[in-house]
Amino acid sequence: MKKTLILLLLCVSSIYSQEYFPSNTGVKTSKNKLYAFTNAKIYVSPSKIIKKGTLLIKDGKVVNSGKSVNIPNGTEVIDLKGKTIYPSFVDAYSTFGITAPKRESGRGKGPQYDANRKGYYWNDHIRPDVDAFNDFKFDAKKAKELLSLGFGTVNTHLEDGIMQGNGVLVALNPNTTDAYRVLNKQSGNYLSFSKSKKSRQSYPTSRMGAMALLRQAYMDADWYAKGNSKNTDLALEALNNKKDFPQIFRGGNYLDDLRADKVGDEFGIQYTIVGGGDEYQRINDIKNTNATFIIPINYRKAYDVSDAFLADKIALSDMRKWNQEPANPSILAKNNIPFALTTYKLKKAKDFTGNLQKAIKYGLTKTKALEALTTIPANILKNNKIGNLNAGSYANFLITSGDIFDAKTTLYENWVQGDKNIINPMNIKDITGDYTLSINGKTYDLAITGKGAKQTGSIKKGEEKINSKFTFKDNWVSITLREGDDFTRLSGIIENNQLKGTAIDNNGNESNWSAVFKSKKDKKKDDKKKGEKTPEIVAVSYPNIGYGNFNKPQQETILIKNATVWTSENGETLNNTDVLIKNGKIAQIGNNLSSRGAKVIDGTGKYLTTGIIDEHSHIATTAVNEAGHNSTAEVTIEDVVDPDDINIYRNIAGGVTSIQVLHGSANPIGGRSAILKLKWGENADGLIYKNTPKFIKFALGENVKQSNWGDMQTVRFPQTRMGVEQVYIDYFQRAKEYDAKKKSGQPYRKDIELETLAEIINKERFISCHSYVQSEINMLMKVAEKFGFNINTFTHILEGYKVADKMKKHGVGGSTFADWWAYKYEVNDAIPYNAAIMHNQGVTVAINSDDAEMSRRLNQEAAKLVKYGDMSEQDAWATVTINPAKLLHLDDRTGSIKVGKDADVVLWSGNPLSIYTKAEKTIIDGTVYFDIEKDKEKRKAIKSERSKLINMMLQEKLKGAKTQAPVKKTKKLFHCDTE
């Protein structure tokens, strides 16, 4: 066998030498490359099927296919009666034959801010110029594996960087050279959110930074294309030359899929998106991208839940994913979202076939499955010569025993470029069935099961199992039987439903044996048994975690009767008062109100207030700091809002209705904010305020000068408070000049960072500045005044009390902690009386959290102001309601109970400042998002769903499926200084 292979290879080398190459090993021989495959069921494409047709191929291409095809002389005819031909599969997202570089260790090195590459873009992670072909090396072993799965073509690339460069379209033809099998050296432009491993350049450190960088690169490419650039930039040139290429973006999970699509849309580019397999979680949003997807089918294994103690640690959301992931392809298909399937992400490529069958079991139709493996990846690659068997297409096709998606089907051959690759020998006879075996007058029962070369038999005598070894090779059967100490060896072949041959006993005596066919197991019956029930798929909730909503909460007309109402309007308390909520707004406040059809809530003994607003939060986000530059005004938290964060629910359970998700404090000029209404269950866009006020985070002090980042971080400017001032003056000066040029009508290079800073100067965007000590607070006010604008808010502002008079004069608000201090040097003089002193000087004061735990009980933090500094209860309450609303420019919409304002209200069990009080209902825009009674139901539902899924996983384990160790989901909690 091996010999033949070598021989074959030798032939190949002469046959496949390029036609004009001289031959020195013999006379010139061209292989006959004209074949006709007859009598087969042919899938020309998923929708065009020919029963009993002929496929004619020549020189690696399809000549024709159809019912009656003219077969020219000199054609080798292969009769495929009863067999099926499919186009070979196409994998549009592969790293076949290309090894990704390893990241060099950053140990003992300081950060790097400049690019390694010269003559290219300023950022090393933008490498559209890279040709993966230069790193390509045909991997024969991997090719063999992929061929056995049915793939004929893969589009491979170098998976490295944010813009990764050109892909290579390769036919998986091991019998030739790259000169033939590389179908396209520049087959697509690949992108991702991950940095190149070839460079240690810091920027970007975050998802939002990567998004901003992509945007800036596209703008710069446009600027470059128009001939405005004074220098050469090989990266931008490459980018401009590839506009018509397939653009393939690796998202990797549904949130990143959406983020990628968002960036593409802004520049009129429709990416094909490589998904993560969790797209079903927000299928409508996925559909709205209008993108074609490439979907991995690397389903997670069931968790090993046999240890109840460990099983307790697995989140319901993870258990659900185990249950739901296999349905992802079918859900995509049902929603008419075009997608290709890929082997990408599979730890073992050979799991592909089983997982594909699982997808079908979970509802994916076979036609859609075939499309996802042929025509759709071909469309993605803009190549109509693969994934079909139309005339002129590559002769890449599969010969199977039947339906390719059926587990019982055998894949015999995978032809690529007209060359045969045998997967399972086609001439192997099916000898399965029950036989009566006779040897020397003794009779036994022989049962043969299995498929192809793997057919195996077992022997019984009556009920007794006989020790035996069965092999089936090259259509020869050999059996060794052992009875007591006696061995008998049989060998034979099948003829007319009968196995017969020679038997040799342990004395060397020969005799004849035969096995007469009795019956075949009823396949249909078997199928039914195996067909099983369709697996149960648990419902998706929004978000798809415990406490998510299965039904979208609806806006209601709500009448709260007889409550004590703290309006947050000038410290007003209204006793025994009714509040009517209609169309999402506060409709009426008064006594004895009534409204037809309103849901009436008895507020007797309870307090009604407006919802708490947290001016400084870092929940519900995937990233918090872009630390790669000292100014990152180009990034925005709106790009990375995470609507699936359980802390949103915990916040509403603490009476919080609105938050500002701020960028961290890694740099003097941070990123833009996302201001959210905590409408639990909405997607990211649904959480962000409509007509949202524009904010940006600035920061002062130890964090921006990297004081506590370790001894290596001493390179970035600024390292002192003195430098911080100069960063501001420099950037604002440049922004001012930029804005003047823009307004003058001259051509200008669009710069997102300077655009943002110009908005600040033009008073369209407001600063919330992380701040501690008085010197720098004073400094920033002076810088702002110099450029003619005001700082809107100092957040944290722990030494605000030392300059409260100056703050009042400047007109800046203070958003502070109630009692945090002593965690670093600059908070040594932080005092819990800070809020009271600033308040007494007329500064608008808010109490904020900067912490996922504290944010859910900001009412208690506000209560501390009564203790420290003797504030009135109403003044204290204002610091978490109307005051932060004012600071966020939301006070015309929310922050108090006033007719016409948004119905963002909380019903409390008692005085909201009391430690003994609980939030019972949290209503946002007239919709109840938290209800303490419903919460109890949710707890029960979580408990029962967990048991259900645990039972399902136990069954899976008992059936023998592989499992994985329990993993406890951990949510990264962000603070200002989280990297």
Report the distance separating Cα 884 and Cα 865, nearest Å.
Answer: 15
Let me know: does 565 contact 906? Beta carbons within 8 Å.
Answer: no
Let me know: does 638 contact 951? Beta carbons within 8 Å.
Answer: no
List the strands of the sheet with 845-847, edge to edge.
669-672, 695-699, 766-770, 793-796, 813-816, 845-847
By CB under 8 A, residue 853 contacts another protein: yes
Chain center to CA of 96: 22
- The torsion of the CA quartet 493, 494, 495, 501, rounded to 10 degrees, works out to 40
By CB under 8 A, residue 27 contacts another protein: no
> Which H or E element spans position 296?
strand 293-296
> Which H or E element spans position 947?
helix 932-958
Residue in 829, 920, 910 with CA at minimum distance from that of residue 873? 910
The secondary structure of residue 832, as a DSSP letter, is: T
AA letter at 116 = N
Binding test (CB under 8 A) with another protein, winner from 145, 178, 237, 819 = 819
Binding test (CB under 8 A) with another protein, winner from 251, 869, 884, 895 = 869
Which 507-566 positions form the footprint of another protein (CB under 8 A)? Answer: 545-547
By CB under 8 A, residue 695 contacts another protein: no
Coil vs helix vs strand at 784: helix
Q: Which stretch binds another protein (CB under 8 A): 169-177, 223-231, 243-251, 309-317?
A: 309-317
Q: Which stretch binds another protein (CB under 8 A): 282-290, 334-342, 852-860, 887-895?
A: 852-860
Binding test (CB under 8 A) with another protein, winner from 317, 379, 396, 564 = 317
Binding test (CB under 8 A) with another protein, winner from 315, 516, 537, 954 = 315
Binding test (CB under 8 A) with another protein, winner from 316, 563, 724, 847 = 316
Cβ-based burial of 970 (10 A; exposed 0-12, middle 13-18, buried ≥19): exposed
Rounded to the nearest whole angstrom, what is the least distance from the CB of residue 573 to another protein in the complex?
15
Report the distance separating Cα 279 and Cα 257, nearest Å.
Answer: 8
Rounded to the nearest whole angstrom, what is the least distance from the CB of residue 734 to another protein in the complex?
33
Binding test (CB under 8 A) with another protein, winner from 250, 282, 672, 856 = 856
Beta carbon nearer to another protein, 130 or 305:
305
Which 901-920 positions form the footprint of another protein (CB under 8 A)? Answer: 913-918
Binding test (CB under 8 A) with another protein, winner from 113, 717, 787, 833 = 833
By CB under 8 A, residue 157 contacts another protein: no
Report the distance separating Cα 651 and Cα 614, nearest Å.
Answer: 10
By CB under 8 A, residue 857 contacts another protein: yes
By CB under 8 A, residue 359 contacts another protein: no
Binding test (CB under 8 A) with another protein, winner from 187, 541, 815, 860 = 860
Chain center to CA of 506: 64
Beta carbon nearer to another protein, 491 or 707:
707
Rounded to the nearest whole angstrom, what is the least distance from the CB of residue 972 to another protein in the complex?
8
Binding test (CB under 8 A) with another protein, winner from 1, 6, 822, 958 = 822
By CB under 8 A, residue 653 contacts another protein: yes
By CB under 8 A, residue 67 contacts another protein: no
Q: Which stretch binds another protein (CB under 8 A): 57-65, 207-215, 570-578, 821-829?
A: 821-829
Rounded to the nearest whole angstrom, what is the least distance from the CB of residue 69 to another protein in the complex?
52
By CB under 8 A, residue 582 contacts another protein: no
Q: Which residues have C-beta within 8 Å of that of residue 474, sequence separation ≥ 6? A: none
Chain position carrying tokens 């998802």: 207
The secondary structure of residue 807, as a DSSP letter, is: H
Cα-Cα end-to-end distance for the chain: 59
> Hey, how many other C-beta atoms are within 10 angstroms of the C-beta on 763?
11
User: Which runs of E-coded beta strand occur in 520-640?
Assistant: 558-566, 573-582, 585-590, 599-602, 607-610, 612-617
Residue in 773, 832, 825 with CA at minimum distance from that of residue 797? 773
Beta carbon nearer to another protein, 460 or 918:
918
Q: Which stretch binds another protein (CB under 8 A): 475-483, 518-526, 647-655, 664-672?
A: 647-655
Rounded to the nearest whole angstrom, what is the least distance from the CB of residue 949 to another protein in the complex?
12
Let me know: does 678 contact 614? Beta carbons within 8 Å.
Answer: no
By CB under 8 A, residue 346 contacts another protein: no
By CB under 8 A, residue 277 contacts another protein: no
Rounded to the nearest whole angstrom, what is the least distance from the CB of residue 957 to another protein in the complex?
16
Q: Which stretch binds another protein (CB under 8 A): 113-121, 571-579, 680-688, 846-854?
A: 846-854
> Hey, how many other C-beta atoms are within 10 angstroms of the C-beta on 517?
17
> Hey, how many other C-beta atoms are within 10 angstroms of the C-beta on 247?
19
Which 918-937 positions form the footprint of another protein (CB under 8 A)? Answer: 918, 935
Cβ-based burial of 240 (10 A; exposed 0-12, middle 13-18, buried ≥19): middle
By CB under 8 A, residue 872 contacts another protein: no
Q: Which stretch binds another protein (CB under 8 A): 13-21, 435-443, 867-875, 897-905?
A: 867-875
Rounded to the nearest whole angstrom, what is the least distance from the CB of residue 161 to another protein in the complex?
18
**Alpha carbon separation from 503 to 10, 449, 500, 813, 827 (Å, rounded):** 41, 22, 9, 99, 93
Beta carbon nearer to another protein, 363 or 910:
910
Report the distance separating Cα 769 and Cα 756, nearest Å.
Answer: 15
By CB under 8 A, residue 979 contacts another protein: no
Task: Provide the binding-site residues for another protein, judged by CB under 8 A.
Answer: 309-310, 313, 315-317, 545-547, 646-647, 649-650, 653-654, 702, 707-708, 801-802, 804-805, 819-825, 828-829, 831-833, 836-837, 840-841, 852-854, 856-857, 860, 863-864, 866-867, 869, 873, 913-918, 935, 939, 942, 946, 965-971, 973
